[in-house]
Amino acid sequence: MDLAIVIAVVVVALSFDYTNGFHDAANAIATSVSTRALTPRIALGMAAIMNFVGAFLGQEVAHTVSGVITVPENSHGLVIVMGGLFGAIAWNLITWYFGLPSSSSHALIGGLVGAAIASGSTVQWSVILDKVVIPMVGSPLFGFVAAFVVMLAIMWIFKRRNPHRVYRGFRLAQTVSAAAMALGHGLQDAQKTMGVIFLALLTGGYVSEGDSLPIWVIFSAAGAISLGTWSGGWRIMRTLGRRIIHLDPARGFAAETVAAGVLYTTAFAFQAPISTTHTITSAIMGAGATKRFSAVRWGVARSIVAAWVLTFPMAGLVAAACYWVLHLVIGQ
């Protein structure tokens, strides 16, 4: 029974990873597509490849995710993890349907916390505060300010240059910045699924606390998120690329470069599982606000912020309900 549930949890985790890929594909490529720096298919292909490569760059975020809850090392613990995954998948699909770029990362962690609370298991609130809540607030604020400053610097440096020639150069530069963003997305988001699979293996007794991630876990998580990215996320791409603000190549480059830098720094320096969605969206707003603050469609921005705020508790509530159903059906 334990082995069957472990296999089921791994399958559900990889399904979440796939939904993460198509839900968050827009993070890496929306700005490049909207500025016509890349065609949609080329952008998606590049993002899928870079997502796959990024998944192999570290394990720090994965170990952070696996430590957010402590569950019994038996079949009941595996049911708790599965309930958390179902809650995260459900919220991903809901926000994808409505085209809202919510955070798959916070849906996953909110789902795990909701299932843990419903089961009476231990939630590591210090980890949640230090590695999730503080970065959740800090990374979008930093992304907004940094993108605003970088774009002001670009405007000052190129103020006497021919605008058409400058934009042509930045379209080429966006190929690099979009690739960097996609690499950071793989580094951050694929590791979160690895962390859940590691938690399931730990709960089932197949690995020990201090072990490294098995190579098959890394490879399968990288493949799932890459396939999901290739499937695309067109609804959310429209929101990020057009509905917030109509970006030009220079602002797209500034937003992607800043967002990628934040992803790498938080992964390697702080082991924090931040939201790629929050980061790139706030960076787009920051770069766009250099035109004039009214150029940003703040009504759309408010809807996005509302989805951010709701993600953690709503994914937790859905996960709690999923846990109770699974608990009754499986009997563990």
Q: Average the pLDDT over each of 199-208, 232-241, 310-319 and give the range with the smallest value.
A: 232-241
Is residue 98's pLDDT more than 70?
yes
The residue with greater pLDDT, 274 or 247, is 274
- Nearest Cα neighbor of 255 from 192, 191, 173, 190 is 173
Q: How far apart are CA 256 and CA 235, in angstroms?
A: 19
Instruction: For residue 134, give every residue at least 6 positions away whose Cβ sits within 8 Å of its Cβ, in sequence order, or none.
Output: none
* Max mean pLDDT range (23-32, 75-84, 99-108, 323-332): 75-84
Q: In which band, very low, low, confident or very high, does the pLDDT at 117 lie, cut at 50, 70 and 90?
A: very high
Is residue 238's pLDDT more than 60?
no
pLDDT in tens, 165-178: 888 888 889 889 98
Is residue 218's pLDDT more than 70?
yes
Token pair, residue 162, equals 């021919």
Percent of the chain as helix, strand, coil, to the nearest 5: 80, 0, 20
Token pair, residue 45, equals 């292909």
Phi, psi of 244 (to 5 degrees): -75, -50
Average pLDDT over residues 310-321: 91
- Output the pTM of the full model: 0.84
